Amino acid sequence: MPKKTLVDLHGADLRGRVVLVRADLNVPLNGAAVSDDTRIRASLPTLEYLARAGARSVVLSHLGRPKGKRADEFSLAPVAARLEEALGTDIRFVDEPCGDAVTEAVAAMEDGQVVVLQNTRFLAGETDNDPKLSNAWAELGDVFVNDAFGAAHRAHASTAGLADAVRARGGLAVAGHLMARELKFLGDALESPERPFVAILGGAKISGKIEVISALLLKVDRLLIGGAMANTFFRAMGLETGASLVEDDRVDMARALLEEAGDVLMLPVDCVVVDEIEAGAAARTVDRAEVAPGDRIGDIGPATRQMYAHEIGAARTVVWNGPMGVFELDQLAGGTRAVAEAAASAADGGATVVLGGGDSAAAAEQAGVVDRLTHVSTGGGASLDLLSGADLPGVSSLSEAD
């Protein structure tokens, strides 16, 4: 069911009104320094739009997993400071997620101003999706904008709970610009992809991505597998995997997937192996049938890179999640780099190329191709859930479009 978005609201819905904005400002910190501000920058279009419209934006977000208690290392204060810098206007930070201090700060707001509240997860009611907490927030404003795509797979008090509470009071709950953009690219790719439609899956584990593999097999023309998850398939095929990362409890599942997949599923034909996954380890390229007992598979080999680049080059839609190897190590980064380059070239040629996953985004950044891709998702778990066809509570809770 299509949902209302920010652009469905009119000036009168926004000017002088208190708008509750759920953003995903859950950014990596190094001490009190923001080490990657991607999610902060991705939240700007909605906040700038609201400021221009004269709305009074009250921003809610979680940071880390403080488990319902106040904890200084999870304070949103440094994130709010970085947001202020990025927005280029003064914002006010309230050191409480809810309560009198918040109510007072909101009452003192001016049109176009932004207030950021303290970490919503300092309250146990947040992850418990406590309706009392959602209602306390809902009382502050008339409109709820959910822009937190990265947290859309969670039904928490400041996400789905707050949307429900605002709607129950007769207000509107709409998708922000970032949320709408994420749903447009990831959602459209899955619903009505231009073909050929190629998906690329990699990363450490098959277990977190099993549902994604099954769901994608029904939709794509090709599913290219890389990363450690390929090893579990190799084991299912009876190949030697040496000392590589293999999920023994998923081998039967991998075998079943191989049987149902036919030629849609493609696996590496060669690999780069090392004795230890560590900086400086000597790397060798071997055929996938020639992996020796002590070997650790750390990347896809050159023949595989060429084969995958060919498939990606012919695609009109590409969805990619998970690095092809241990891209953090130089000698095991080549496969991911080759796929990143092929994906970027496909996008240059007009294909829609969407990338999801925290490590994948870092790998694309490292390969220097981010600006050439159609869209890099800010969601990890949320993008995987969307790819596997699951319902996202943060989205299904929004007001329906007319």
In terms of C-beta density within 10 A (0-12 exposed, 13-18 middle, 19 or more buried), how is residue 78 classed? middle
Cα–Cα distance, 16 to 254 (Å, whole number): 56
Question: Residue 381, interface with ligand ADP (CB under 6 A)?
Answer: no
Q: Running DSSP on this structure, what letter comes out for residue 226? A: -
- The entry of Mg ion, ligand ADP, ligand 3PG, none that residue 385 binds, CB within 5 to 8 Å by partner kind: none
Question: Residue 151, interface with ligand 3PG (CB under 6 A)?
Answer: yes
Strand, coil or helix: what is 265? strand
Q: Are 346 and 313 in contact (CB under 8 A)?
A: yes
Residues facing residue 148 across a β-bridge = none
CA–chain centroid gap for 260, Å, is 28
Cα–Cα distance, 100 to 106 (Å, whole number): 10
Binding mask 85-124 for ligand ADP (x = CB under 6 A): ----------------------------------------
- Interface pick for ligand ADP out of 43, 359, 377, 387 (rule CB under 6 A): 359
* Residue 114: C-alpha distances to residues 17, 283, 366 (Å): 12, 52, 33
Please give the residue whose beta carbon sits closest to Mg ion in the complex: 359
381 annotated active-site: yes
Question: Residue 325, interface with ligand ADP (CB under 6 A)?
Answer: yes
Cα–Cα distance, 35 to 38 (Å, whole number): 9
The two tokens of residue 252 are 């039967």
Interface segment toward Mg ion; rule CB under 5 A; list 8-16, 26-34, 170-178, 358-366: 358-366
Contacts of ligand 3PG in 14-73 (CB under 6 A)? 24, 26, 65
Cα–Cα distance, 22 to 97 (Å, whole number): 12
Interface segment toward ligand ADP; rule CB under 6 A; list 92-100, 281-289, 354-362, 392-400: 354-362
205 annotated active-site: yes
Q: Are 19 and 57 in contact (CB under 8 A)?
A: yes
The two tokens of residue 258 are 């191989």
DSSP 95-108: S-SSSHHHHHHHHT
Question: Residue 154, interface with ligand 3PG (CB under 6 A)?
Answer: yes
184 annotated active-site: no
Question: Residue 380, interface with ligand ADP (CB under 6 A)?
Answer: yes
Q: Are 164 and 134 in contact (CB under 8 A)?
A: yes
157 vs 392 by CB, closer to ligand ADP: 392
Cα–Cα distance, 350 to 362 (Å, whole number): 23
Identified catalytic residue from 3, 4, 17, 39: 39
231 vs 317 by CB, closer to ligand ADP: 231
Binding mask 40-69 for ligand ADP (x = CB under 6 A): ------------------------------
Question: Residue 209, interface with ligand 3PG (CB under 6 A)?
Answer: no
77 closest CA partner among 95, 103, 100, 55: 95
The single residue listed with the structure tokens 């000698």 is 331
Question: Shortest approach of ligand ADP to residue 244 CB, angstroms?
Answer: 6
158 vs 231 by CB, closer to ligand 3PG: 158
Question: Residue 126, interface with ligand 3PG (CB under 6 A)?
Answer: no
Question: Shortest approach of ligand ADP to residue 4 CB, angstroms?
Answer: 30
- Interface pick for ligand ADP out of 125, 171, 203, 242 (rule CB under 6 A): 203
**Terminal alpha carbon distance of the chain:** 10
- Angle, vertex CA 169, rays to CA 392 and CA 63, nearest 5: 45
Question: Shortest approach of ligand 3PG to residue 62 CB, angstroms?
Answer: 7
- Interface pick for ligand ADP out of 130, 328, 341, 365 (rule CB under 6 A): 328
Residues that bind ligand 3PG (CB under 6 A): 24, 26, 65, 150-151, 154, 380-381
Residues that bind ligand ADP (CB under 6 A): 202-204, 227-228, 245, 297-298, 321-323, 325-326, 328, 357-360, 380
